[in-house]
């Protein structure tokens, strides 16, 4: 059944892909329309909040242990999306770790270019610690740009002398805004969602070209030493595959415990398609087991 699922999903994604050459405002509208069409599971609730002056969406699954927190960073190449739009996928991470999720509504470019997102992410984490949540009870998670931001936030927190979370889980991380990954070309035809051109058009909205290799912009170029365990997942049908591979390599070279989990034949942030793709459910299950092990064996997981 899996092959048919992958083929059907790819056909749907190619048919529904954003038209080329539309402006950012229209891209934002279309993303909100698509994301809002998927109803949340009945046992998931979303509440608006604020953390360190940064708006958040607190996402809870009935029966979770509120002592543990997933600090979540949404995707959208730093110019689209918001904390609540990622609630469905974020709730799946919370479900598998038995934790409540706080999704950070960091400011978006071009209205708020770098370092706004980085500053907001760090402010939210600092406030979470200040409010009394132990770092051992926190994991980071994020998809696409949010995956890159999760890693950058750990680097930033380390450099500010803050204690680090127990672990981090990043899905299809957008970790190199220089767009130098080999799969930008080799996976161009296979990727039903993203293209080098579309990414290139958005980079300058977030950061000037000379700064794209800064460690807090493109964490594959950062010093990753001292970071907590890192779980990286990606699919083989995405132009950002090489970002995941090179991020894992950089982490390993820095003596960071890292799991690189590549699923064949699936697209960018394939975990979001868990209702129709067996590989997505399996990948989320694997990540949940790893994160739970780092948070501690006392967690009570909530089954789907």
- Residues recognised as catalytic: 144, 238, 268
Mapped onto helix, strand or coil, the DSSP state of residue 260 is: strand
Residues forming a β-bridge with 141: 72, 169
> What is the three-class DSSP state of 71?
strand
Q: Rounded distance, CA 133 to CA 139, Å?
A: 11
Place of tokens 């029966």: 63
Whether 84 and 103 have beta carbons less than 8 Å apart is answered as yes
**Helix axes 145-159 and 116-130, enclosed angle (nearest 10):** 60
- Which residue in this structure is represented by tokens 């009870």? 137
Q: In sequence order, what DSSP letters do the residues of 202-238 get, joined into one string? A: HHHHHS-GGGTTSTTTSGGGS--TT---EEEEEESSS
User: What's the number of CA atoms in the CB half-sphere (13 Å) around residue 198?
Assistant: 22
290 near 259, Cβ under 8 Å?
A: yes
């Amino acid at each position: 059944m899996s092959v048919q699922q992958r083929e059907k999903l790819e056909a749907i994604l190619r048919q529904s892909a954003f038209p080329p050459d539309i402006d950012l405002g229209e891209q934002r509208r279309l993303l909100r329309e698509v994301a809002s069409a998927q109803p949340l599971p009945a046992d998931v609730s979303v509440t608006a909040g604020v953390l360190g002056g940064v708006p958040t969406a607190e996402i809870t699954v009935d029966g979770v242990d509120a002592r543990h927190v997933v600090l979540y960073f949404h995707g959208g190449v730093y110019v689209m999306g918001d904390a609540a739009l990622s609630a469905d996928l974020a709730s799946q991470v919370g479900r598998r770790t038995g934790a409540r999720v706080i999704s950070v509504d960091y400011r978006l470019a071009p209205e708020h270019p770098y370092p706004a997102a980085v500053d907001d992410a760090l402010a939210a984490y600092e406030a979470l610690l200040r409010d009394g949540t132990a770092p051992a009870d926190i994991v980071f998670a994020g998809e696409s740009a949010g995956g890159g931001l999760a890693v950058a936030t750990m680097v930033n927190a380390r450099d500010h002398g803050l204690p680090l979370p127990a672990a981090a889980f990043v899905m299809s991380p957008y970790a190199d805004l220089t767009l130098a990954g080999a799969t930008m070309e080799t996976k161009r035809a296979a990727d039903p969602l993203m293209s080098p051109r579309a990414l290139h058009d958005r980079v300058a909205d977030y950061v000037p070209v000379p700064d794209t290799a800064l460690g807090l912009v493109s964490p594959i170029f950062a010093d990753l030493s001292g970071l907590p365990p890192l779980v990286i997942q990606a699919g083989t049908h995405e132009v950002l595959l090489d970002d995941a591979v090179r991020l894992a390599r950089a982490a390993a070279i820095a003596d960071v415990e890292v799991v690189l989990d590549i699923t064949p034949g699936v697209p960018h942030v394939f975990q979001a398609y868990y209702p129709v793709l067996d590989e997505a459910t399996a990948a989320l299950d694997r990540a949940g087991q790893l994160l739970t092990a780092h948070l501690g064996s006392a967690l009570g997981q909530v089954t789907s």
